[in-house]
Structure 1
């Protein structure tokens, strides 16, 4: 979700669900510690509960980065051991760390030592390249759990670091949900969430019969109303009605105006809103107006309201 789940995206998604845990895009520990890019940790208080996802492989550097995250008030600090991009491979972090569970465990110990009461978690794959996932995944979980980690999110695909692009790694390696489900049976005391290829709340509910949690990434981004509106009711048992997608867009107006006064371009916010009406009448006009107009000088809330006027109102998802 790099370049996707930034603070504007998360604020928008939070208007759709009060209870789902939101994740930042991955922030590298070197960027924070050596590069001083602490602005990458900025978030809005309204985003809670929100987890920050770190990338790195140096235990001391990750500890320093964790301190910065804890000081900012994040609800969780997550180490990414699943991203297959070339950039993270060259930095020796991301999915390549599936090959070195002892190093991951050392990193997690260092992070936990400074995290105070903030939970420290891991997101991983089931394996990489020619590893035997049936052997590697349980050994990885056991080794890292011994460092005191109790929460894992498992992307149910291997990452092929040789031969597949990051984009291809999101779709081509086959999903192995049964293997991830078996991990919950093998490690009943751990909180295990499943990720990968899950696109609907119905899918999520089915996995929750076995797993402790479900992470949804791309589907929640491309069709946020379809996935996030109604999540509080369907997953968390909320009894109050969900907002409509129209109400969510209108609730964004004060935020947009405040961000524009800070010099943020409208496009930086509305690019995350293009999928709001996916599959609904008027969705194409909504996308076209925002795509063509949001980058122009002076574009603001009036443009969003104009785009919204072309989408027929609809009942809340519940």
Structure 2
């Protein structure tokens, strides 16, 4: 299926190259050079977020940063095996470097998913051991698996044996009353012994009962020092931190202590945060794009998908926050919301909305 995924993206690539020199440079460089950086360990990533990090948002982010590691939304193992794989897994090659996050606890089926992901062209597979929702818990995956490190190790080992891709884990610092540093340290030791070398740590514990998923992202206090200690005690592992990080200055501060930083909601609510990271984090000799340039670069992409039956507002919902804090942002949001849902709406709606910015 890898050839399918690439050709699917290259059709978009051809359309975009014919209309946008700016996008051409972005697509060509990211399509083939980036997977190598993932294997060395990418210092910055955008977190997997349900109903956020779909292929259209990832494409938008790729107009802002060519280097940052992007993630899919979490996809469950049964969905990958039994569902519409094209709908769930397809992506365009400009989205590289790109990791697929999966959820599940069955080693044999996880290995099957890993083989599918490798064939599909992903650069990395990440196991979700951090989501605290009831639906996820009922399926025995997500944060509840922190209480079962040996089971997680078996899942990781099965995937490692099935593919050559990096297998990584995203987890919490703890769950419920099992939230001592020693509990997390034991979890990481067991799972790393199974072959996992990259751990993304959400620096909050999760309460599996009593808090909603949204509250679990904000209520438990951040414990950055626990993640720093983890890196000190496991210097051979690649340790990434996640949780409450909203500025470039904060990113740089964490990188003094750790290997990588993952940004979650701040990436969605303020994509402009990433406009200078290729230069400031990756050392690229490039000028940050303006958000107007980013939006204009999206025009061919929007029309491509509208012409194939995708509703404009399913893509422009990711653009709503891009001008937050700027004059005309409210008019921009209102226009996209009102006009983006109309039948046959295309990139011209976004172009007209740009004129409302001052």
The verdict on a shared fold, with TM-score over 0.5 as the criterion, is yes
Q: TM-score range by the shorter chain?
A: over 0.9
- In the alignment of these two chains, the number of paired residues is 310
Q: Tell me the CA shift for residue 90 of structure 1.
A: 0.9
Q: 1:169 is matched with which residue: 198, 205, 216?
A: 216
Kept in 1, the 8 Å contact 2:73–2:101? The answer is: yes
1:122 counterpart SS class: strand
Which residue of structure 1 lines up, in the alignment, with residue 269 of structure 2?
A: 222
Q: Tell me the CA shift for residue 37 of structure 1.
A: 3.9
Which residue of structure 1 lines up, in the alignment, with residue 129 of structure 2?
A: 81
Which structure 1 residue ranges, 5 or more long, are not aligned?
Answer: 313-318
Deviations 1:268-292 (A, max 9, x none): 1000111111111111111110111
Structure 2 CA distance for aligned equivalents of residues 180 and 186 of structure 1: 10
TM-score (norm 1): 0.96
TM-score (norm 2): 0.85
1:219 counterpart SS class: helix
- Higher relative helix content: 2
Gap change, CA 1:198 and 1:56, over 3 Å in 2: same
Q: 1:300 is matched with which residue: 330, 342, 346?
A: 346
C-alpha RMSD of the superposition:
0.9
1:262-273 alignment, distance < 5 Å: 262-273=308-319
Kept in 2, the 8 Å contact 1:19–1:232? The answer is: yes
Structure 2 CA distance for aligned equivalents of residues 133 and 305 of structure 1: 52
Kept in 1, the 8 Å contact 2:313–2:340? The answer is: yes
1:19 aligns to 2:67 (yes or no) = yes
2:168 counterpart SS class: strand
Structure 2 CA distance for aligned equivalents of residues 195 and 132 of structure 1: 17
Q: After the TM superposition, which of the residue ranges 204-213 and 271-280 deviates more from structure 2?
A: 271-280
Which residue of structure 1 lines up, in the alignment, with residue 25 of structure 2?
A: none
Structure 1 CA distance for aligned equivalents of residues 145 and 130 of structure 2: 8
Q: After the TM superposition, which of the residue ranges 129-138 and 118-127 deviates more from structure 2?
A: 129-138
Q: Tell me the CA shift for residue 35 of structure 1.
A: 3.3
Runs of 4+ aligned structure 1 residues displaced above 2 Å come to 34-39
Q: Tell me the CA shift for residue 234 of structure 1.
A: 1.3
